[in-house]
Amino acid sequence: MDEGSIQEVAERLTSWGIEYDRGFARVEWDSMDAQREVVAKLRSSLPPNLPLLEIELAAGGKSQEIAAGLINQLGAAGNCVASISGIEWAFPKNGKVLDTLIAFNFQRETLASLPVRQIWWIPTGFAGMFILGIPDLESWFQLRLHLTERSSTAKVGIYFGESNRKNVSVDEARSLARKFWNRLETAQKQGFPEERIWLELAEPAVDALMAAGLELQAVEILARMPDARKQLEQKLEEIESLRGMDDHAWLSLARRLAHLFMLQGDLPATRKLQERVVEVSRRVLGEEHPDTLTSINNLASTLTAQGDLPAARKLQERVLAVRTRVLGEEHPDTLISMSNLALILWAQGDLPAARLLQERELAVSTRVLGEEHPGTLTSMNNLAETLSAQGELPAARLLQERVFAVMTRVLGEEHPNTLISMNNLALTLRAQGDLPAARLIQERVLAVMTRVLGEEHPDTLTSMNNLAPTLWVQGDLSAARLLQERVLAVRTRMLGEEHPNTLTSRNNLALTLRVQGNLPAARLLQERVLAVVTRVLGEEHPNTLTSMSNLALTLHDLGDHDESVRLLRKCLLGRRKVLGNKHPDTLGTVDALKSRRESEILP
């Protein structure tokens, strides 16, 4: 067992908590996700008669009141293990954190007399200040640990659709966001650098919000951190000049900076830094080290987002092979690699290979984790997507009904994941031609999301966007158009003109306008979309090629046959290069050209 790993720290804290009836343990941590994972393991491993009490110290109060409040909470708790976090932010708005530390030091004898095992969580960058502020109390700690591992749940993976998210609840995400906003003003008044605020407060909040589907709230936090990127870049350069890139501190910070680039949508910068991280990790840690494999996986995710599917597939195949050999097929990281590779195969149009991998992953997940585990349900849903794409709609429907039934029973009907499973089932019903049933479910999902999350929440907008095509197929084009116009207006205002979701909404509205016969308006929208995706993603990105094909069809209907054929030819060349000759999109472009009597240009 590696020193500083999640498992090692959790086991040592458990043993300490069982052995002693009171006392202090101090744990430095590098990753908040890892810290939360240790707490979860600790909660499940402590005996039933020894509960775990989690205490988050409040920011903004008087130092003496913060110390007294902690003593009161611990005194009232009785025999337990207390996990105490937030010490680095627990100081008055116009005071200093050192004041609070001195107050704790003054109350050390009272704290030590309580029949509670106290675990004090200290961010690594705050450890020096902590020791300086409580020199007497520091000497009383019976156990001192350093949690160096980063959480496996924090790895950047490839997420397919709305249903393959990390298992973060809306309440948990909003709690982390509130913590950020509550402490931001205090931290700024104290002159804390933005890079520290980002690493300790903003990054965990943004990650959780994105995972829970609260994208707009995540964007709002990112907008308040304009200098974090510059400061992190400067810090990385300092480490590189003083210690070199082979230093573990450089690797750790570079991974987190690349993650910030990704959240900001700067894919070229993300890829460039991730390539350096992979190179250094291979040299320093070795090709098969878990951190190296995670770095390769993250680079593959970026390549996928850029549309470079062949390069992403090669990396994911390498990661899966190593993890299967070293960790075994049943390890959670191996299952993640199976899922990621399957989704790339799916995007490349190799549905049989994707299906084989997903069936293998689902069998292992069901056996190891159980049918009701979130990971198993995600595997089930992804396989259903593949079955649906292969035209096996009854089999896809059966899987989705199982997912929906379990989520309804375990999470409740109004949980975001349950609503997502309802929406997935509705899409399959629509594909089967059962439009009334699909519409009924989608209207139900939209009503709940509007009431629970609000009309402008990303998931609510997605529900509107999904209901519109059902109305469209039923012939209610006017109602579909109204929904699409509402979604486009909100996304443009909240996310900006160039956000992928805004571009998707603009494209969907254009298709409706085209069917309604308003070809000039459809053309204007499609030309705007194509201009943006070409500039942002590049000419050969799959999304750019799709926009090119859509515009070509509209131009043909408008009578501009020469320009339509020119775009289709360009689209065909791009799809052959990026997706291959046998991909459904490539074959569709061939058929479109043949229908325009362009078969002579095709080999």
Query: What are the tens digits of pLDDT across the range 152-177?
Result: 443 333 222 223 334 566 667 777 77
What number is the average pLDDT over the span 442-449?
91
Query: What are the tens digits of pLDDT across the range 249-267?
Result: 788 888 878 888 887 778 8
Among 153, 181, 211, residue at a domain's last position:
153
Rg (CA), the chain: 27
- pLDDT higher than 90, residue 278: yes
What number is the average pLDDT over the span 305-313?
88
Per-residue pLDDT, 600:
41
- pLDDT higher than 80, residue 521: yes
- The residues pairing with 26 across neighbouring beta strands, listed in sequence order, are 120, 144
Per-residue pLDDT, 156:
32
Residue 579 lies in a domain: yes
d(CA 270, CA 460): 30
Q: Which residue did the predictor score with more confidence, 595 or 20?
A: 20
* 69, 140, 176 from 26: Cα distances, Å: 20, 10, 23
Considering only CA atoms, which of 25, 80, 26 is closest in space to residue 52? 80
Residue 603 in tokens: 């080999």
Residue 323 lies in a domain: no
**Position 481 confidence tier, pLDDT thresholds 50, 70, 90:** very high
CATH of the domain at 519: 1.25.40.10
d(CA 204, CA 186): 18
Per-residue pLDDT, 509:
92
27-36, 334-343, 573-582: which has the highest mean pLDDT? 334-343
Residue 92 lies in a domain: yes
Helix (H) or strand (E) holding 114: none
What number is the average pLDDT over the span 68-82?
88
Q: With contact defined as beta carbons under 8 Å apart, do 593 and 553 qualify? A: no
- pLDDT higher than 90, residue 531: yes
Per-residue pLDDT, 223:
65
- pLDDT higher than 90, residue 19: no
- pLDDT higher than 60, residue 40: yes
Residue 213 lies in a domain: no
CATH of the domain at 24: 3.40.50.300
- The residues pairing with 118 across neighbouring beta strands, listed in sequence order, are 24, 82
Among 98, 120, 153, residue at a domain's last position:
153
- pLDDT higher than 60, residue 539: yes
What is the dihedral angle through the alpha carbons of 6, 12, 15, 19, rounded to the nearest 10 degrees? -140
- Residues contacting residue 476 through CB under 8 Å, at least 6 positions apart: none
Per-residue pLDDT, 150:
62
Q: Which residue did the predictor score with more confidence, 128 or 368?
A: 368
pTM above 0.85, yes or no: no
The range of the structural domain enclosing residue 536 comes to 498-603
Residue 37 lies in a domain: yes
**Position 215 confidence tier, pLDDT thresholds 50, 70, 90:** low
Among 135, 153, 171, residue at a domain's last position:
153
Residue 517 lies in a domain: yes
d(CA 124, CA 131): 12
Residue 202 lies in a domain: no
Residue 175 lies in a domain: no
Q: With contact defined as beta carbons under 8 Å apart, do 192 and 374 qualify? A: no
Query: Domains in the chain: how many in total?
Result: 2
* 168, 359, 367 from 376: Cα distances, Å: 16, 11, 9
Per-residue pLDDT, 92:
58
User: Over pLDDT 70: what percentage of the chain?
Assistant: 87
